[in-house]
Structure 1
Amino acid sequence: MTKTVPDTAPMGRFERLLTVWVALAMGAGIAMGLLAPGLVQAIAAAEVASINLVVAVLIWAMVFPMMVGVDFGALKGVARQPRGLLVTLVVNWLIKPFTMAALAVLFFEVIFARWIAPEDAAQYIAGLILLGAAPCTAMVFVWSQLTRGDATYTLAQVSVNDVIMVFAFAPIVGFLLGVTDIAVPWETLVLATLLYVLLPLVAGLATRRALGTQARIDAFTARVKPLSILGLIVTVAILFGLQADQILSKPTVILLIAVPIVIQSYGIFALAYGAAYALKVPHRIAAPCALIGTSNFFELAVAVAISLFGLNSGAALATVVGVLVEVPVMLSLVAYANRTRPRFATSQD
């Protein structure tokens, strides 16, 4: 198979500092919420069928460049390393969403119960469920490259995950929200899945077809890639503008939300990486297959949280905290994967 992944150049300074940009956007959002509350409320009021129009544009700016990079021609290569793909699929769809929901309930209904009001706890749990049900789509290309991962395998696993996401995301989220006694607005959930997963995917495929060659696709992806991060940063600023009063009155809530996310990230990586090692999966495949489950498609989680629960909801806030911790956690796991490469038998590679 001769397919290549889109833009696998080493992570640039801008991407490495994503956590810094998100933190600055949080500060700018809080300032905007305090100094220009009318502007923030006007943005929040621009809704049609529970979909915020301003945020919808920003989410498409985030998601579309990633979907252009997905090549379903890579699906025919999934049989090259079935054990690695098996680990990825089992962890992403049969384990990760449920462990994230369990950790969310444990922390916000038990451990943190004395500090968090029940209605707020339910919102944070919902946001964490959305994060857990959305495996990484784009950043895994970066993590794979940083661990010298197999480029064609990485592309294949992302393509398979995207196909599954179209059909499985809404049912899994709906089930877990129902189990945790959170009302499930099914129409909005399905609409958000169509709007932020299926339609961008179709648009990405159409764009690939129109561009034709891989070189033109890579060049186009490189040009539009900055829109993805810009859309994320502006969305974060809007979210924190709406949450300004709550955040300033309860600043520790950010740390409390981060705790189960960090535990989930390291736990899922350990499970997937350990399983890949036990199954004698080559390191060039073991690393990306573990990292894709650890990382999150936070753009989708943010978009659906806003659609389901609103811009000023605790669920939306929880998904944004996921963005905040994503890069430092993932870089630490990349470093660990690189340090442990010699432990994988030479014969595996």
Structure 2
Amino acid sequence: MRYTATPFKGWTHGKHVKRDTAYPLPADSDLEHAAFAPLALGDTTIATVVHRLQRAAKSNLPILLHGETGTGKELFARAIHAASARCNGPFVALNCASIPEGLIESELFGHRAGAFTGASTRGARGLIQQANGGTLFLDEIGDMPLAMQSRLLRVLAEKEVTPVGADTPIKTDFRIISATHRDLQERAARHAFREDLLFRLHGLAVTLPPLRTRTDIGELARRLLAAEQTVIGRRLTLEPCANRLIARLRWPGNVRQLRQVLTTAAWLSDAPGIRAIDIETALESGITDMMAGPANAGHDAPRHTVGNAAPEDARSLLLLSLRRNRWNVSSTAREFNTARTTIYRRMARFGIVQPNLLDS
């Protein structure tokens, strides 16, 4: 029987260390297709990434995943593991940014009994040993302390690890996948990241596109919403106006933010389908305040086009901008690249009233 890592169940937030157990795949399942199918939904850039990773998964190449926060780097790492010859082994993940510098050494390399104050009396196997025969995923590798980078480099070069307080190295056999949202070459140039370690990690490097550039956002939203149906207890659909609004927002938190907003909208809505107003409510509910950024926030951030949008979309976009800018009409006008008088006319047409005028 063939096994692979725990199946994808969406975008979850767990502890900084994860070690998956195995589950059986159907005998006639195509391993690569089963691993990457949830990730390839029609976007050409993602399709190219998947094609490269499918080929690389069969090898033992170290893989470096680059992308903004929330683009799904761990999901892609799990897919690589699941499609590899190591799929029967463990998938062990460590978020290098979420663990204190003083603890990362013992977490990663393990320690002997009594090696330091507070150490376990029985010692502990580090994550590198736990990943033996499988895959070690180091998320946010760009935040790893320099001292730990040196030790990791030695492990990768010698294929052995020496626990804290031990004298004898232990042989290891694991595949390393790392991920970061930082520019490691720039950090290496500033001596904030070891260049020789970067060469070790850079067997194959791929960049995951931000959600705002993906053409499959509608299908992705439907998949994410469908995954919540069992928990919420009813069939969930997206109204066309909600689909259009989702496609127009920048989603600085990427897929992680999209799922969070959809989940919140589904719980708060009492309508048969999720509407644009439900998305607006979820964005301002306090679950997340990462709303669509200003039009000049990045080179790939398109200008808002309220004038050409459907009425329900135009009102949603205008309202979001006004709230984000704390009802500063001048700032909103700059965001839409139009005159203040135009914003006032649109507010009147859509029945949008500034809060300070409601009692007038």
> Shared fold (TM-score greater than 0.5)?
no
TM-score, reference length from structure 2: 0.24
TM-score, reference length from structure 1: 0.24
Q: Look at both structures and tell me which one has the larger radius of gyration over its CA atoms.
A: 2
Structure with the higher helix share, 1 or 2: 1
